[in-house]
Structure 1
Amino acid sequence: MRIRTARLAAPAFAGLLATVTACGDSSSASDTSGEQLKIVATTTQVADFARNIGGDRVQVTQILKPNVDPHDYEPSPADVQAIAQADVVVESGVHLEKWLDQTISSSGFHGTLVDSSKGVAVRQGNGTDEEAAGDPHIWHNPKNAEIMSRNIAAALDAKDATDKSTFDANLTAYTGKLDQLDTWITQRIDTLPAAQRKLVTNHDAFGYYVDRYHLTFVGSIIPSFDTSAELSGKQLSTLVAKIKETGVKAIFSESSLPPKTAEAIGKEAGVKVEAGENSLYGDTLGPAGSAGATYLDMERHNTTTIVDALKD
């Protein structure tokens, strides 16, 4: 696990954020005895992991809201203030949060920065700028979620030794749930004939899921890990041809992306589109009460949606 100390405030944004950093003095962050650890988690997924590991011994501030695309997020002054006051900042990693380093530098934060992706075997990209670091959607393999949770637990143990037994017990319990999830997904996917395990999605966010559960990835509407990548008419025409050629049964829209293009391609290719409540949760969890409100809920919903749509 990579745990590193963040840089002190940089000149960038200094005038705009002077009052924010002034009220965000974290000089007592290392003195956490008897107090909840203040954790800032960047994405909905790592915030959920942090809550499960930290329990009532932590206070988690989640920067990204449900169904908000993380690729092009622009931090607010409130985000900077939360980071300035945090004991621990948890990032998903693999360059998903391109905005984070500058935000941390501007905040004056000097706590612990945890890259939860440390130790994960990262799928490689195609060499373009947005894919240079590899595929950032690591959480779609529950075994990677276990690694991410262990990284978070180790950071909390180091920051608050008095609650180590609590964090470790919570990690053990949550890891058990992730193991059960992995077994359940395997069993559900195995009900599909191998020839029907073909996936077309909004963007290339499910590579780790495809690899773990032996699906065939036919293509994505946005042929990139990054939702901000530009599309071409030729790419869309090629995808329609592949859908027809391979006998794909469904196209899966995603909760954080508009379904309009997916629906147009589905109509042209003559296949159904899973959208609305049947959208997959790709880059983000859903809001409280939704089918993707937690990481465990998200992966169960995605699997049920995929299996039901690809059945005869």
Structure 2
Amino acid sequence: MKLRSLAVAAVLLSLTGGLAACGEASTAQPAAGTKLAVVATTTQVADFARIIGGDRVAVTQILKPNIDPHDYEPTPADLTAIGAATVLVKSGVGVEGWLDATVGSAGFKGTLVDASTGVKIRQGEGDEEKTGDPHIWHDPRNAKLMAQNIEKAFAAAATADAAAFAEHLAGYSAKLDALDANIAAKIAKLPASDRKLVTNHDAFGYYIDRYQLEFVGSIIPSFDTSAELSAKDIDDIVAKIRQTGAKAVFSESSLPPKTAEAIARQAGVKVVAGEDALYGDTLGPEGSAGDTYLKMMEHNTDTIVKAIGG
């Protein structure tokens, strides 16, 4: 995937006419009455950026809803937006494997914000041990840290609006605390023997750790949805479902549901898909049950509780 990202970036560079190489970060402040130009990579950090920035920032979101961030291929428009941005926000932990080459080609001279700074990263196995689990937003406490990192960068880039950014952060942090408490209360009502989760891929580790669920397994046993699925993987997850008594297989909004449906049938359990699918790697489109981070977390929790608590 890394080699392909480099190749894509090279093509985009030729399409945009050869932008300047990435230089030192600019310290220039936006002119009075001008919004801070922000580019955010994933749907989650774009949501945080809009909330923290409010009407003081103009956010360009690279990844669209229900688009898998692991295997994204940047466009010429992405290069143009990044090259013109004052602040670039990434989720981090390797989820945007395509970003480094893209930034280098875009001639970005602003501030790059790694929203994962300060987050305790879950470790993986094999090759994934090097980077860890990138799905940090599934714990609201991590989302709170991500929002803080964004606020700090915005305040430095537009000092005249620092008080407004701090006010927005305080209000949003309170909502994240309330969300965390609400999810914990809902999960706590489930019998311990029912708290078993089977998902499309290994995207919910932080959620599982935070709310004391039992991870039975995933259809794609990897943090990355582009990992190949073998017949043995399918046999293993079916066996685990039967052995543990898990009640459901949860599909994800950004992945095709066919494999989840087939495994659920083979294991003799229900599949949760369609509008009820979990939001794993991405928020949902406008008007959906997952079009903001807060709504996404509420939807996932209510869906899980309903499916395994019956």
Q: Which residue of 2 aligns with 1:3?
A: none
**SS at 2:184 equivalent:** helix
**Cα displacement (A) at 1:191:** 1.1
**SS at 1:66 equivalent:** coil
Q: In the aligned structure 2, how far is the partner of 1:189 from the partner of 1:69?
A: 27
Q: In the aligned structure 2, how far is the partner of 1:173 from the partner of 1:21?
A: 39
Q: Which residue of 2 aligns with 1:101?
A: 100
Q: In the aligned structure 2, how far is the partner of 1:311 from the partner of 1:15?
A: 52
Q: Which residue of 1 aligns with 2:56?
A: 57
Q: In the aligned structure 1, how far is the partner of 2:199 from the partner of 2:109?
A: 40
- Give 2:307's aligned amino acid: A
What stretches of structure 1 of length at least 5 have no aligned partner?
1-10
2:270 aligns with one of 267, 272, 293: 272
Q: Which residue of 1 aligns with 2:75?
A: 76
The answer to whether the Cα contact below 8 Å between 1:131 and 1:224 also exists between their aligned partners in 2 is no
- Give 2:57's aligned amino acid: V
Q: TM-score, normalised by structure 2?
A: 0.93
The answer to whether the Cα contact below 8 Å between 2:13 and 2:105 also exists between their aligned partners in 1 is no
Q: In the aligned structure 1, how far is the partner of 2:203 from the partner of 2:149?
A: 22
What stretches of structure 2 of length at least 5 have no aligned partner?
1-8
Aligned length: 300
**Cα displacement (A) at 1:231:** 1.0
Deviation per residue, 1:5-30 (Å, 9 max, x gap):
xxxxxx945851443737xxx99882
- Give 2:102's aligned amino acid: T
Q: TM-score, normalised by structure 1?
A: 0.93
Give the alignment's Cα RMSD to 1 decimal: 1.9
**CA 1:272/1:235 → structure 2, altered by over 3 Å: closer, same or farther?**
same
- Give 1:38's aligned amino acid: A
**SS at 2:249 equivalent:** strand
Deviation per residue, 1:160-185 (Å, 9 max, x gap):
11000000000000000000100000
**Cα displacement (A) at 1:311:** 1.2
Q: In the aligned structure 1, how far is the partner of 2:290 from the partner of 2:12?
A: 38
Q: Which residue of 2 aligns with 1:202?
A: 200
1:92-171 matches, within 5 Å, as 92-128=91-127, 130-171=128-169
**SS at 1:16 equivalent:** helix
**SS at 2:101 equivalent:** helix
**Cα displacement (A) at 1:235:** 1.3
The answer to whether the Cα contact below 8 Å between 2:27 and 2:157 also exists between their aligned partners in 1 is no
- Give 1:160's aligned amino acid: A
1:260 aligns with one of 250, 258, 261: 258
Q: In the aligned structure 2, how far is the partner of 1:28 from the partner of 1:136?
A: 28
Q: Which residue of 2 aligns with 1:212?
A: 210
1:165-184 matches, within 5 Å, as 165-184=163-182
